[in-house]
Amino acid sequence: MLISKDDRLSFEKSKPGRRGVTLPRERFCSADPLQTVPKHLLRQSPLLFPEMSESDIIRHFINLSRKNFSVDTHFYPLGSCTMKYNPKVNEWAAHQEKFTALHPLQSEETTQGILEILYEMEEGLKEITGMDRFTMQPAAGAHGELTGMMLVHAYHASRGDKARRKVLVPDSSHGTNPASAALLDFHVVEVASDAHGCVDLKDLERHLDEQVACLMLTNPNTLGLFEKNILEIARLVHEKGGLLYYDGANLNPLLGLARPGDMGFDIIHVNLHKTFSTPHGGGGPGSGPVGVKKHLIPFLPAPLVEKAKEGYRWAKGDPRSIGRVKLFHGNIGVIIRAYTYLKVLGREGLLKVSEAAILNANYLKEKLKPYFQVAINGPCMHEFVLSLKSCGAQGVHAGDVGKRLLDFGFHAPTVHFPMVVPEALMIEPTETESKETLDLFVEAMKQIAHEIETDPENVRQAPFTLPVRRPNDVLAARKPILSYRDMVREKALAAEVAA
């Protein structure tokens, strides 16, 4: 007899009294906790936890994890997100007890090792980006942007320049850029792209005036193209008294090749969880250090690490500092992973990272060109964008191609972004993928191109091989089911409606 696959939830597998763990009471408490905890703090009813044996719970979670796509299991060409391999040596380093047992309130004398790492990480970032100082506090790229906008605000306010309330963003910018500026109450103004997918200089000049606080740019931009006019853009913005902000989400192809600091950027953030190989997805944790040029150092969040004769120490902030943007000193575990990556690769290794990222993207683009339209033709940096507009005739959208790719064992590329490209499919292979993997991806895309012509319904209905096929994206965002109780409630509601 065939035994059916067990998709029950852990709560449904629960059996009263079954145990998966015995707490080593002696190690954690000298007396019976029931005797030592004050009566009014004790729970009055048992906690709702599934009761399962260790082997059952291990199988349950391992099986769940196998239904997921991850960088460790699948090719993950999610454009703009730089889903590169996360070396396991980074994990080893971050899990050393000397780090995990540290407490952020320990004294400087007892934390010299981690202070040295923070100091050296900052030195590394300064050298890579050409900036003068960094704060390691921000917890993600978007948090870095918010910190950057606070710096922009503080800088102009310190000069009594209160009229600067405009932040310019290109129409191809990532959604977090205008959102971060809007959070600081800046008025966001869009700058058009030209026919080559880069900032339209004429449109930029049209918007530039004495009210502009800042222009936010990512370079290469979200079309994977290097902004060739960046020096001229910097000149124009600075000439009008504005600042230039660099969204470092796309730093991956620049390591050792070009530096935002040399391009004229005043403030930048770096996504350690992209360029420097630390794990991300599903909301964090990340790390988005923010770097500035000299004139903005006094405004940086405090404290910053300093190297003194007697060792490393926390330097008091300048009175003009915007204050803390995160509890303690940032996501230290992520910083240790990124630091390990820097140390393992060194200067030469980092240069190879960028060269290989560019090579892989251009290889894939050229291989796919006969089957799909490339949004902007010509050489790209570490990623490129296809437009599936012409597939509209068959009723196929970019999202359908993303879904069909799942059946071939590939994570979907970014779909419907950047918004300047109709039916965009944004592909970032990253440097850690082999030619064999890229060729397999090309084969899958070729077959999908063929299906779009001959059997578009198959693409529209995909995926066929996954336990969850087409969840309702809107409901998933607006009414997420995040707990077992939510699910029970939803099921009861559905049953009521059906009855």
Whose Cβ is closer to ligand PLP: residue 82's or residue 90's?
A: 82
The nearest distance, CB 138 to ligand PLP, in angstroms, is 9
Return d(Cα 276, Cα 337) in angstroms, integer: 8
Which helix H or strand E contains 215, and what residues bound it? strand 212-217
Return d(Cα 154, Cα 146) in angstroms, integer: 12
What sign for the dihedral angle of Cα 479, 483, 489, 495? Answer: positive
Which phi and psi angles does 108 have, rounded to 5°? -60, -40
Whose Cβ is closer to ligand PLP: residue 394's or residue 430's?
A: 430
Whose Cβ is closer to ligand PLP: residue 122's or residue 247's?
A: 247
Helix axes 112-129, 332-368, angle to 10 degrees: 30
Residues that bind ligand PLP (CB under 6 A): 80-81, 140-142, 174, 176, 218, 222, 247, 249-250, 271, 286, 288
Whose Cβ is closer to ligand PLP: residue 79's or residue 124's?
A: 79
Whose Cβ is closer to ligand PLP: residue 111's or residue 129's?
A: 129
Whose Cβ is closer to ligand PLP: residue 287's or residue 340's?
A: 287
Per DSSP, the three-state class of 203 is helix
Whose Cβ is closer to ligand PLP: residue 286's or residue 298's?
A: 286
The nearest distance, CB 269 to ligand PLP, in angstroms, is 8
Cα Rg of the chain, angstroms: 26
Residue whose beta carbon is closest to ligand PLP: 141
Whose Cβ is closer to ligand PLP: residue 140's or residue 335's?
A: 140
Which helix H or strand E contains 351, and what residues bound it? helix 332-368
Which helix H or strand E contains 237, and what residues bound it? helix 230-239
The nearest distance, CB 345 to ligand PLP, in angstroms, is 21
The nearest distance, CB 177 to ligand PLP, in angstroms, is 7
Whose Cβ is closer to ligand PLP: residue 115's or residue 142's?
A: 142
User: What single letter denotes the amino acid at residue 304?
Assistant: L
The nearest distance, CB 431 to ligand PLP, in angstroms, is 17
Whose Cβ is closer to ligand PLP: residue 178's or residue 317's?
A: 178
Nearest-10 Cα torsion for 338, 341, 346, 351? -90
The nearest distance, CB 498 to ligand PLP, in angstroms, is 40
Tokens 């710096």 belong to which residue? 151
Helix axes 176-183, 141-158, angle to 10 degrees: 40
The nearest distance, CB 72 to ligand PLP, in angstroms, is 20
Number of H helices, E strands in the chain: 19, 13
Per DSSP, the three-state class of 174 is coil
Residue 46 tokens, joined: 């048992």
Whose Cβ is closer to ligand PLP: residue 204's or residue 249's?
A: 249
The nearest distance, CB 488 to ligand PLP, in angstroms, is 32
Per DSSP, the three-state class of 473 is helix
Return d(Cα 425, Cα 63) in angstroms, integer: 30
Closest CA to 290 of 138, 152, 121: 138
The nearest distance, CB 387 to ligand PLP, in angstroms, is 19
Which residues pair with residue 217 across a beta bridge?
A: 246
Which helix H or strand E contains 425, and what residues bound it? strand 424-427
Whose Cβ is closer to ligand PLP: residue 77's or residue 286's?
A: 286
Which phi and psi angles does 185 have, rounded to 5°? 70, 20
The nearest distance, CB 139 to ligand PLP, in angstroms, is 9
The nearest distance, CB 301 to ligand PLP, in angstroms, is 17
Tokens 């993928």 belong to which residue? 433
The nearest distance, CB 173 to ligand PLP, in angstroms, is 7
Return d(Cα 136, Cα 300) in angstroms, integer: 10
Q: How long a stretch of residues is the chain?
A: 499
Per DSSP, the three-state class of 397 is coil
